[in-house]
Structure 1
Amino acid sequence: MKSHDRYAEIQAFVSIARLASFGAAAAQLGLTSSATSRKLQALEARLGVRLLQRTTRRVTLTEAGQQYLLHCERWLSDLDDADAALADLQGQVRGRLRASVPSNFGRLHVVPALPDFLATYPELDLDLDFNDRYLDLVEAQIDVAIRIGRLDDSRLVARKLADNRRLLAAAPDYLARHGTPQHPSELAHHSCLHFSLYSEGELWRLHRGDETQEIQVRGRMRANYGEALAEAALAGYGILQSASFIIGPALQQGRLVEVLPDWHIAPSAIWAVYPHGRFLAPKVRAFIDFFDRRFSAASWLRQDKV
């Protein structure tokens, strides 16, 4: 069997599995649906196993298909890396880049930059995943991710893109009705709007010099989406702990007021990460360098007061 035939069969299988559609896979591959189906049939015949279950309404992977797909995706990714290694010698940025970004941060600060990024690299195709959970980049076949906060996965290479300042804030109306806290301990008597994915649960830790205060907060709302909490704070429903990249404009406009400005929350950072030990493809380097330049000029990353 010719190697290019085997490659075409695997490419057809992966496309059908990812898109769950023969027609969509055929369009992606530039083939007819019947030609795409024949390639899958040839692959299944060669392997002696059914990889996909087909009905008139849906296409699903068999158990064997699920296992085979993982190996095929890894193999195709390795081929992409090999192509990228050659492209790197020629300074080319092209191919398909799979990137993962946090939902709030991505919408506010990655999406506005995408037209410039895509215009800068016209031969690059971008597959962008918005996700606040830490995906396994190797298992999910993600080339690069932007992450905020602590990094625990030793399999990842990290490059710091920017600082991430967090602070407490509330609407002037809320503070007029409920009073302005003068000490962190008073937060226990306020409605605190809480980000549910915060790693330390509903415990807020504030520092001033050598002094540390830990407060178990409670409030009327918790959410895994920072902008929803910011809207609740703007409406006067409580005190918010948030990042300056979310509430910076509201603070500058006076719609929110910083609470306990003499206290600070331990600083964190915004990182670009990619799997350790993999060749750093030009497309990944281009993504990281582009957003490094973009964020270095952003006012919302200053560690001084917003």
Structure 2
Amino acid sequence: MQDIKPLLVFSAVLEHGSMHAAAAALGMTPSAVSQHISRLEALHGVKLLQRSTRRLIPTDAGLSIGSYCRRLQQTLADTQQALDNLKTEAAGEVRITLTSSLIHAPAWQSAFKRLQHEFPAIRPVLHLNDHLADLQQESFDIALRGGDTALDAPDLIARPLAVWPWRICAAPAYLDAHEPITEPEALHRHRWINRLPIHVLMRRGVETYPLHIDNSLYCNQLSAVHTLTLGGFGLSLQLAGEISTALAEGSLQTVLPEWTLPTVSLYAVTSYRVQSAKTEAVLRVLQQSFAAAQTAAP
């Protein structure tokens, strides 16, 4: 088998942008990095880099071979991680980022209880954040994300957890104190609470109604929307999986339940496909708990 080290060195040069930066990352000298690249070019008779005094620019051949080199680097890293997992127990800190409203979801609470019971050596560290977190820059192990943005970055691995529909909801006290809502047009005459303007398409059979609510009480945190809705301050749009307990207890009611709204797909997202034993354990519990909650939903 041919030596793969020059391929890995070339991948590092592309990643870091210079011989010196790649050398620092690899623990080598810039001269050794340069020799590996020269050897690779000589061996295959192609020029991979255009060198200048200020920067390195990959040639077309360099760009083409670079994608394979990065894949090789990732495969080796995954293999090493898999080997490490065989001798690593499910213990230690796991950093999880999730939206502030997801904390109310029975599926999440069930998963959290299971983790405490089945894996007491795992220490979940929760970061409630309603903005899209950067897993690599912020060193998160798992991000719970909903919607299309979960799949935006090609280097992230998204594991499906659930598909939840939006619900228009309000506290019974609010509904009792205001005019009845029998048609979508009446929604515009009520107070709303939200983090973002509402633009959704409602459906009832073959009928459709585009609902646009721009003027509402603004909250920068989704959990505040949930709390204020429970307090009777107005209507809000919330995910069915996050309010199922409140609906079952009667502290919230669905408005216009005969109308359906769009759904949101929820994922557990990680930076790499192969994970440590502790992260794999958390992912497994999350997937099982959310699947069970989805099956039990009416």
Q: Is the CA contact 1:190–1:218 (under 8 Å) kept in the aligned structure 2?
A: no
Alignment equivalent of 1:297, drawn from 289, 292, 296: 292
3-state SS in 1 of match to 2:101: helix
Q: Distance between the aligned counterparts of 1:127 and 1:176, measured in 2?
A: 41
Change (3 A) 1:125 1:81: farther
Structure-2 residue corresponding to 1:86: 83
3-state SS in 1 of match to 2:135: coil
How far residue 187 of structure 1 moved from its aligned partner, in angstroms, is 1.3
Residue by residue over 1:199-245, the C-alpha shift from the partner in whole angstroms, topping out at 9 and shown as x without a partner, is xx332432233443222225552213333323333333222211223
How far residue 139 of structure 1 moved from its aligned partner, in angstroms, is 1.6
1:180-195 map, 5 Å? 180-195=180-195
Q: Is the CA contact 1:99–1:126 (under 8 Å) kept in the aligned structure 2?
A: yes
Q: Return the letter of the residue paired with 1:283.
A: K
Q: Is the CA contact 2:111–2:285 (under 8 Å) kept in the aligned structure 1?
A: no
How far residue 168 of structure 1 moved from its aligned partner, in angstroms, is 0.9
Structure-1 residue corresponding to 2:27: none
Change (3 A) 1:234 1:144: closer
Change (3 A) 1:257 1:90: same
Change (3 A) 1:176 1:300: farther
1:11-22 map, 5 Å? none
- Alignment of 1:105 with 2:102, yes or no, is yes
Unmatched runs of 5 consecutive residues or more in structure 2? 1-76
How far residue 90 of structure 1 moved from its aligned partner, in angstroms, is 4.1
3-state SS in 1 of match to 2:137: coil
How far residue 171 of structure 1 moved from its aligned partner, in angstroms, is 2.6
Structure with more contact order per residue of length (Cα contacts < 8 Å, sep ≥ 6): 2
Q: Percent identity?
A: 27
Query: How many residues end up aligned between the 2 structures?
Result: 221
Q: Is the CA contact 1:181–1:187 (under 8 Å) kept in the aligned structure 2?
A: yes
How far residue 91 of structure 1 moved from its aligned partner, in angstroms, is 6.7
Q: Is the CA contact 2:99–2:129 (under 8 Å) kept in the aligned structure 1?
A: yes
Alignment equivalent of 1:274, drawn from 270, 276, 281: 270
Q: Is the CA contact 1:148–1:269 (under 8 Å) kept in the aligned structure 2?
A: yes
- Normalising by structure 2, what TM-score? 0.63
Structure-1 residue corresponding to 2:249: 253
Q: Distance between the aligned counterparts of 2:239 and 2:200, measured in 1?
A: 14
1:56-205 map, 5 Å? 84-90=81-87, 92-106=89-103, 109=106, 110=108, 113-114=111-112, 116-150=114-148, 151=150, 152-196=152-196, 201-205=197-201
Q: Return the letter of the residue paired with 1:254.
A: G
Structure-2 residue corresponding to 1:25: none
Q: Indicate the structure (1 or 2) with the bigger Cα radius of gyration.
A: 2
